Structure 1
Amino acid sequence: MRQAALIAGAAATALVAAGAITYAVAGDDGSGRTPSAESADAGFARDMAVHHQQAVEMSYIVRDRTKDEEVRRLAYDIAQTQANQRGMMLGWLDLWGLPKVSSEPPMTWMDMGGMASGKDGALMPGMATNTELKKLGELSGKQAEIFYLQLMTDHHKGGIHMAEGCVEKCTVGVEKRLAQGMVDAQQSEIGLMADLLKERGAAPRS
């Protein structure tokens, strides 16, 4: 319980800090230039906004499928944090005057466009398939908790990989800092979810 509270507090602090500088992001690479549509900065913002949207969706599904307060609290924290971060990234695209949708495959900015097959709705590594989302919506109680924690662990691993790519490739300072914050927070949440799975006699899928 204490670990979950610490994670939630850290996430809230990061959101306040990031929100305060959302509207100053455009020239934060030090050059006064805004990113191009093909840049890592724009690619990460577009792709992570899509990735985050599914995490929000999964979190609201499980919140209605269980009465367990710890899982419901974690799901709510993930939904709120990622919805806010998604809003920031879409806001940056607006500030940069760039489209929110690209004709290029997801993760092309990471030179990994070929990995995003879109099979059964999973547009990027770590994302749940449409079949898995349907199954989550049909489970309840402990089984819903376990499946959500397993899906979200995979989701976080995929998100961390993308965020690390932005830390390496993005040029806008505030976006790189947000990406590093995602890495740190989601690694902590993976540890928490492993503990919650163990308490339920289960383990991560990979």
Structure 2
Amino acid sequence: MRQWGLVTGAAVTALVATGAITYAVAGDEGASDAAPTADSADAGFARDMAVHHQQAVEMSYVVRDRTDDEEVRRLAYDIAQTQANQRGMLLGWLDMWELPKVSSDPPMTWMGMGDAAAGKDGALMPGMATNTEMKRLGELDGKRAEVFYLQLMTDHHKGGVHMAQACVRACEVGVEKRLARGMVEGQESEIELMAGMLEERGAAAR
């Protein structure tokens, strides 16, 4: 996990150095080329989605050690790779904007949810697994681990889609709005894929 973080960080540094990460995207209505403020939707989304993504990466690596099923392992790898890279971009933007990566405000305050967003038992935002669920995932094996992972990740993606849709509406930095749109499309596609995988295993989303 630590090695993965170093690779991601290096990739973001390279993108920043070459100017590949920019603010505005041509054709994005309302896109801005100015750095956002710490209490903006752009900064809030970057901070919160980085946290949300980190748990998805952790869950994916856990299930890869709990099953030999190649379909689930491949999906878990793809999710871990995609979300770790996106997380690196989000944290990289916060660095460029010279904004803090943590906030004293509750998660999702930027989208009008605040204290209502947090769940119980360590679930910081909607869709996130609880501490108890993460512990259970690490104790299951085989088909039971596959089903529980697919159920947890379906919930996780639904929460992520909701947050990304809020950024599409409220964020002002063009490249971040584009990333959020891509998250919505990608995660909705994976939700559909996971529904089929659950059905094949005689299960369904929670």
TM-score by length of structure 2 reads 0.87
Structure 1 partner of 2:192 = 191
In structure 2, distance between residues paired with 1:175 and 1:21: 15
In structure 1, distance between residues paired with 2:44 and 2:147: 32
In structure 2, distance between residues paired with 1:108 and 1:152: 23
| Between structures 1 and 2, the one with greater helix share | 1
Structure 1 partner of 2:112 = 111
Whether the 8 Å contact between 2:47 and 2:102 is mirrored in structure 1 is yes
Change in Cα spacing, 1:166 to 1:139, as seen in structure 2 (3 Å) is same
In structure 1, distance between residues paired with 2:34 and 2:65: 45
Matches within 5 A, 1:163-174: 163-174=164-175
Structure 2 partner of 1:23 = 21
What 5-or-longer segments of structure 1 have no aligned partner?
Answer: 1-18
In structure 1, distance between residues paired with 2:50 and 2:83: 9
Structure 2 partner of 1:76 = 77
Structure 2 partner of 1:131 = 132
Whether the 8 Å contact between 1:164 and 1:179 is mirrored in structure 2 is yes
Structure 2 partner of 1:6 = none
TM-score by length of structure 1 reads 0.87
Whether the 8 Å contact between 1:22 and 1:92 is mirrored in structure 2 is no
Structure 2 partner of 1:15 = none
Shift of 1:32: 3.9
Identical amino acids, percent of aligned pairs = 75
In structure 1, distance between residues paired with 2:32 and 2:146: 47
What 5-or-longer segments of structure 2 have no aligned partner?
Answer: 1-14
In structure 1, distance between residues paired with 2:131 and 2:177: 31
Shift of 1:114: 2.1
In structure 1, distance between residues paired with 2:151 and 2:32: 42
Tell me the matched-pair count. 187
The yes-or-no answer on 1:57 pairing with 2:19 is no
Cα-Cα RMSD: 1.7
In structure 2, distance between residues paired with 1:33 and 1:198: 47
In structure 1, distance between residues paired with 2:95 and 2:119: 26
Structure 2 partner of 1:11 = none
Matches within 5 A, 1:29-40: 31-40=32-41
In structure 2, distance between residues paired with 1:196 and 1:101: 36
Shift of 1:117: 2.6
Shift of 1:22: 4.8
Shift of 1:165: 0.2
In structure 2, distance between residues paired with 1:68 and 1:75: 11
In structure 2, distance between residues paired with 1:65 and 1:30: 44
Whether the 8 Å contact between 2:118 and 2:126 is mirrored in structure 1 is no
Change in Cα spacing, 1:78 to 1:32, as seen in structure 2 (3 Å) is closer
In structure 2, distance between residues paired with 1:130 and 1:188: 27
Change in Cα spacing, 1:169 to 1:38, as seen in structure 2 (3 Å) is same
Shift of 1:30: 5.2
The yes-or-no answer on 1:180 pairing with 2:187 is no
Q: Match for 2:143: what amino acid?
A: K
The yes-or-no answer on 1:95 pairing with 2:96 is yes
